[in-house]
A and B are shown apart, each in its own frame.
Chain A
Amino acid sequence: MRLIEIAENELGGHQNQDIAAEIPVPEGWAVIPPDMAIPETFPFVRITVKNQRVTSMVAGTMPPEPEPTPPEPTADDILNAILGVTE
């Protein structure tokens, strides 16, 4: 069974879980019917829920790719910056 948390996080994503066993649907979560189409943006989707069961699911907005993190400056870089060395 596939489960989704009804509340979304600040990026519009939903916590979710796929498990073979039948488990009680946790509070605040809903079960996704097995025949429901899952948008490619999952888990960034907009859902409607009735009685802890998802009744509709449409694509949401994927968060932007994070910008690459610049490499940490080396000790030489720091020293050169202090000394004003450009090379």
Chain B
Amino acid sequence: MNDRVSNHPGRWVLTPVTGQSNTYDFTRADDPTVAGTPLNKASLLTDATAAVINALSGSTPDTPNDALNSLASALDTLGITNNAKIEITTYTGAGGGYSTNYKSLTFSIKPRFVIWAYPGSNSQWYGEGGNTGLTWVYPYVIGPSYSDGGKNFYMIFDYIENTKTLRWRMHAPSGTGSVSSSQWSIWNEDVSGKTYTVIAIGVK
């Protein structure tokens, strides 16, 4: 929008309306150099804009204030008002066998969705593609401790909000049996010397 610019701001001519006492026509006499953007439906809230907002929020705004309110609600519903951040961290696998100790990563943001990505196989997802050389992805939504349930071996995830620390380990309720140390390191996403990249989407 543009402001009106004139040589005589606020100057008006009042012309008496014939036959009507104390009634005047106002005519601008400010000698504008820039007309400025008029304040009307076309400049404040067109029907087309109202329809777009309706598509987002489900309601048609009648006023600019309604429109802003609807947009704020829609953004909140989408979670965008949380100011989402992405953080990437890496670590080098240290091997090791079965342990009740957790592996852990600490973030500067509060992660809400985490993805493990690394080239090649040797994934906890044994049997899902084999040695394809592709980038493996292991997604995890932050929440209560997770397991895939019902199996003897499963992954446990644990998140500590106040330190922004994500922990994980493979669990073996029926014992480690004949599982080798190297197999444990695969399941724990901790193969010796292997570089793992972890991408976190979260909030400040």
Across the two chains, which residue of chain B brings its CB closest to A13? Answer: B94
A14 to B190, CA, bound (A): 11
Q: Which residues of chain B are near A20, meaning CB under 8 Å?
A: 87-89
> Nearest-CB distance from B157 to chain A (Å)?
16
Contact A13 B192 (CB under 8 A): yes
Contact A66 B97 (CB under 8 A): no
A26 to B26, CA, bound (A): 73
Per the 8 Å Cβ criterion, residues 89-133 of B in contact with A are: 89-97, 99, 101, 103-109
Across the two chains, which residue of chain B brings its CB closest to A29? Answer: B106
Count residues on chain A whose CB falls below 8 Å from chain B CBs: 25
A43 to B94, CA, bound (A): 6
B: interface residue count bin: 20 to 34
> Nearest-CB distance from A25 to chain B (Å)?
9
Task: Identify the interface centre among B89, B99, B181: most chain A CB within 10 Å of its CB.
Answer: B89
Given contacts A17-B106, A23-B108, contact A44 B182 (CB under 8 A): no
Task: Identify the interface centre among B90, B92, B109, B193: most chain A CB within 10 Å of its CB.
Answer: B92
Contact B92 A43 (CB under 8 A): yes
B60 at the interface (CB under 8 A from A): no
B165 at the interface (CB under 8 A from A): yes
B73 at the interface (CB under 8 A from A): no
B180 at the interface (CB under 8 A from A): yes
A40 to B103, CA, bound (A): 22
> Nearest-CB distance from A43 to chain B (Å)?
5
Contact B90 A44 (CB under 8 A): no
Across the two chains, which residue of chain A brings its CB closest to B87? Answer: A21
Given contacts A21-B107, A26-B165, A66-B182, 12 further A-B contacts (CB under 8 A): A9-B95, A11-B181, A13-B93, A13-B95, A15-B94, A15-B103, A16-B94, A18-B90, A20-B89, A22-B108, A42-B92, A44-B94
